[in-house]
Every structure is written in structure tokens, then in C-alpha cells.
């Protein structure tokens, strides 16, 4: 996933770029509004983090111009603390979410991921990858055209992995997603679930789209996906 960061505070921009990079995103960054608008127009990003006060084209104007041109890129706006007008104007100009400075990096990542997931959901109720075809609305799955029955948990797990194809999802992240109200779950539950899902997707072992990355988590990848 490719993210555009438009922020003129160099230290913050550097932190954002480094953190997003560690999370597996490809990052393009600029501190200039004109360049930001140009990049947003010319390159296919999956999401953007946009500061409002910028040299060159201001953040709100970037957002307005993008939306006027039909660009639906998910945008997380960064606002100055206490500037509630920024929030209102940002949302009116087409921001998908906003975050007041200063913020915790974890919070930014969580908000950004939520935006990306929502965008993926809106973009298509059907996700196809290799031999798999997953219908989110109908909660159905086909493998090489044949329907495969999944439990609700198996479906949710596969849907999340496929929606974030190519990204490593930690066990913690997946457990939080699948069992949000279960305080003392243990990671064996997730491992068993992954094992069962793999066998259903791939009974003869010819295709294993769910990789285990030791100590890191799981990743859905089809042959040819970048590592």
C-alpha cells in the first residue's frame, strides 16, 4: 500500500515516513502544498496523511481540488490542537478522518488502517486473489469456482487478510480484530483457526496463500506479490 504524507514540519514528517515504512507501507513525502497536490493528482496512492497549514497550496485547498476532480483517495487530516474549525472545514472539504496534533503514532496508524479498510470495502464487495473469490456482503467464498463453507471466524480472518494482501498482520492485531471482547485469549486459538482455514483453502497443499512469518505474524500473498 502506498501512502502520501504532506506535512511541512520536517521532524514530524520524518517520523511519519519512518513509522509507516516500518509498518510495510510505501511512503512518498513532501513538505510543500504545491508538490503534494501534484503528487496526489499524478500517482496512484492508497491513502494520504495531510497537514493543513502548508507552504504553497494549503491543505484544505489540496483536498477541495482533489475532490472536485473526482479523486476519492482516503485522506486523514492533521489539525492543530484545539482548532475545531479545522476539523469542520476539513470534513466539509472531503477529509475522511482527522487527528489533532500532538498525537500518538499508534493512534494515527489505527485511524489510517481503518480508513484504508473502509475504502477497500467501499471499492468492492468482492475481493479476488489468485484462485480465491470472496464475497464480503454475501459472506461467501469460492476456490477455483467451487464454493467453500467457512465459519464466521474463518471468514472474518480470511477477509481481513485478503483486504490487506501483502501486509504482515501481527497475531495481536488479528486477535484484537477477531476477539475484541475476549480479555484473556491465548494465541493458540488464532493458530488453530489459521490452520483450519489453510486446510479448507488448500486441502492438497498446492497453494498456501497464508504465510507464517515467525515472530511477526501472518501475511496473505499470492505468487508474484512483492515481499
Residue 140: CB minimum distance to Ca ion, A: 46
Residue 95: CB minimum distance to Ca ion, A: 15
Our CB check for Ca ion shows the closer of 8 and 61 to be 8
Our CB check for Ca ion shows the closer of 9 and 225 to be 9
Residue 48: CB minimum distance to Ca ion, A: 15
Q: Which residue is nearest to Ca ion (CB)?
A: 53
Going from the C-alpha of 226 to that of each of 71, 139, 190, 196, 197, the distances in angstroms are 26, 28, 25, 26, 23
What is the torsion angle, in degrees rounded to the nearest 10, for the CA atoms of residue 139, residue 109, residue 47 and residue 15? -160
Residue 198: CB minimum distance to Ca ion, A: 47
Within a 13 Å sphere around the CA of 45, how many CA atoms are in the beta-carbon half? 26
Our CB check for Ca ion shows the closer of 83 and 196 to be 83
Binding site for Ca ion (CB under 5 A): 8, 51, 53
Our CB check for Ca ion shows the closer of 78 and 132 to be 78
Amino acid at each position: 500500500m502506498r501512502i502520501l504524507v504532506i506535512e511541512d514540519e520536517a521532524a514530524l514528517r520524518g517520523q511519519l515516513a519512518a513509522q509507516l515504512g516500518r509498518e510495510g507501507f510505501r511512503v512518498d513525502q513532501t513538505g510543500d502544498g504545491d508538490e503534494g497536490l501534484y503528487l496526489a493528482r499524478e500517482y496512484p496512492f492508497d491513502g494520504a496523511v495531510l497537514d493543513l497549514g502548508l507552504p504553497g497550496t494549503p491543505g484544505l485547498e489540496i483536498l477541495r481540488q482533489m475532490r472536485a476532480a473526482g479523486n476519492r483517495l482516503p485522506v486523514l487530516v492533521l489539525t492543530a490542537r484545539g482548532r475545531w474549525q479545522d476539523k469542520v472545514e476539513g470534513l466539509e472539504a472531503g477529509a475522511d478522518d482527522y487527528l489533532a496534533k500532538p498525537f500518538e503514532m499508534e493512534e494515527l496508524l489505527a485511524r489510517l488502517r481503518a480508513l484504508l479498510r473502509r475504502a477497500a470495502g467501499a471499492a468492492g464487495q468482492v475481493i479476488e486473489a489468485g484462485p480465491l473469490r470472496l464475497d464480503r456482503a454475501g459472506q461467501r467464498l469460492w476456490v477455483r469456482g467451487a464454493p467453500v463453507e467457512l465459519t464466521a471466524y474463518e471468514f472474518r480472518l480470511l477477509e481481513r487478510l485478503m483486504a490487506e494482501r501483502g501486509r504482515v498482520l501481527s497475531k495481536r492485531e488479528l486477535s484484537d480484530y477477531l476477539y475484541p471482547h475476549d480479555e484473556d485469549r491465548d494465541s493458540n486459538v488464532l493458530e488453530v483457526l489459521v490452520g483450519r482455514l489453510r486446510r479448507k483453502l488448500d486441502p492438497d497443499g498446492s497453494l498456501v496463500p497464508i504465510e507464517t512469518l515467525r515472530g511477526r505474524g501472518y501475511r496473505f500473498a499470492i505468487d508474484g506479490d512483492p515481499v
